[in-house]
Structure 1
Amino acid sequence: MKIHVAPIAPNPRRVLWVMAEKEISDIEVETYNLGEGRHKQVGYLRKAGLPVLPMLELDDGTAITESLAICRYLESRWPEPNLFGTTPEETAVIEMWTRRAEMNVAIPLMVGVRHTFPPLAALEKQDPVIGAFNLETGTEGLKILDRQLGRTEWLAGDRFSIADIVAFIGLDFARLVKVRPPETHKHLIRWVEVMRARPAAATSARQPA
């Protein structure tokens, strides 16, 4: 198997984080520089179907894109440590918080960075209005995370899960445009510090383009 990634981007970083948590070392990792555009070339598009990263290329030629789909595949092949839930109830709660983290925080912040971080102008037709709106939306969504983290140690309950990975990577990406949790979000700040201390955080850290 081979995973195609651009570590600077948050979606590939989700997959690298999951691989680090599960200590998966027997998947070949091919790293891309987004500025070079190799993921837009015919050979890559023939496999992936779209100019997107990450892509997991299986031994039988099957290509899987979309970060959470890849993470679910890895979970099925390397089930420990569990990140998606072990019971129907836990799985549903983790899925709920993964969706909340993605829709309310990660996606808006990611779009906001893409439209406001000057070095990304070469990759994105930037619109500062779109960027500002999404950064504001994502920052507002942090209230949801802080409120939940005042009730539970982790986003989806009493243990670490994919929901934490999705939320943290989205927020960490926004550091490029100096977005930080407000000082009033004490529960979120506590969680961010714990997330940064995990070994997988360093393993999957953003790399320069």
Structure 2
Amino acid sequence: MKLYQSIGPNPRVVLMFLEEKGAVIDRAFVDIMKGENRQPDFVALNPFGQLPLLEMDDGTHLSESTAICAYIEEKFPAPPLIGSTAEERAVTNMLVRRLDYDVVAPMTTAFRGAEGLPMFKNRMRCLPEAADGLKASARDGLAAFDALIGDKTWLAGERFTLADILLYCLTEFGKQVGQPLPEELANLQAWSARVAARPSATASLNAQTGIA
């Protein structure tokens, strides 16, 4: 396997997932700030021109961070981060799906239409006219997850899962782009501190640079 990585929340999801697994695979750094992911040689691997990208054992190229994590879970089943039973996997996948719709999509689309507009305006369709509303939608999604987690340790209860990794990487990204985790969401604030204390949080941040 070979992982094409970069800066950004979605590449960090995979790196943090790998750190939690204790799995080491080959990696290559792609500089998205320089637009290397839009060059013909990379687009030949991933027509969508996005990171992360995993070259699987059979040579197939797999994009989308959560799909990559699902493949890694199959290859490195311990410790389970999606689930060790059908029921656990179903709950994790439900949480990930909700996060994608209610937090990930509005937050990242808002970024591309606001703070990230200079970088993305010539790469894809951006929606600056919708940025404020999308940011509000992301905050609504975070509030829903604040209520969902309540006094539980992790989103799925006592299991630390891909859902926690996804939400943590996105909220850490949000801090950098004008979408911080609202202070009044006390449950998520406490949850975020717990995730930040995990070694994988620091290791994945360092690994994003392509140096570590």
TM-score higher than 0.5 here? yes
Deviation at 1:203, TM superposition (A): 1.5
Are residues 90 and 40 of structure 1, via their aligned partners in 2, closer, same or farther at CA, if it must alter by over 3 Å?
A: same
Give the 3-state SS of the residue equivalent to 1:30 in structure 2.
strand
Alignment of 1:47-126 (within 5 A): 47-117=45-115, 121-124=118-121, 126=126
Paired position in structure 1 for 2:12: 13
Q: Which of 38, 41, 45 is 2:39 aligned to?
A: 41
Instruction: Return 109-118 or 84-93, whichever deviates more.
Output: 109-118
Structure 1 residue 59 displacement after superposition: 4.1
| 1:136 maps onto 2:159 in alignment | no
Q: Distance in 2 between matches of 1:95 and 1:145?
A: 15
Aligned length: 206
Q: CA deviation at 1:160?
A: 0.5
- Does residue 173 (structure 1) correspond to residue 173 (structure 2)? The answer is yes
Counterpart-to-counterpart distance in 2, 1:152 and 1:140: 20
What is the CA distance between 1:176 and its match in structure 2?
1.6
TM-score, normalised to structure 2, is 0.89
Q: Does structure 1 conserve the Cα–Cα contact (< 8 Å) formed by 2:174 and 2:181? A: no
One-letter amino acid of the structure 2 residue matched with residue 34 of structure 1: I
Structure 1 runs of 4+ off > 6 angstroms? none
Report sequence identity in percent.
Answer: 35
Q: CA deviation at 1:163?
A: 0.7
**What is the aligned partner in structure 2 of residue 190 from structure 1?**
190
Superposed displacement of residue 60, structure 1: 3.2
Give the match for residue 162 of structure 2: 162
Deviations 1:71-116 (A, max 9, x none): 0110000011101111222211111111112211122112222222
1:194 to partner: Cα distance: 0.7
Task: Give the TM-score normalised by structure 1.
Answer: 0.90
Query: Residues 178 and 45 of structure 1: is their aligned pair in 2 closer, same or farther, counting only changes over 3 Å?
Result: closer
SS of the residue 2:107 aligns to: helix
Q: For residues 76 and 64 of structure 1, what CA distance do their matches in structure 2 show?
A: 14
* Equivalent pair of 1:113/1:177 in contact (CA under 8 Å): yes
**Unaligned 5+ runs, structure 2:** none
The alpha-carbon deviation at position 129 of structure 1 amounts to 2.3
In the TM superposition, residue 124 of structure 1 has moved relative to its aligned partner by 3.2
Contact kept in structure 2, 1:98 and 1:162, CA below 8 Å = yes
Contact 1:110–1:173 (CA<8 Å) still a contact in 2? no
Amino acid at match of 2:16: W
- Give 3-state SS (helix, strand or coil) of 2:3's partner: strand
In 1, distance between residues paired with 2:163 and 2:53?
Answer: 21
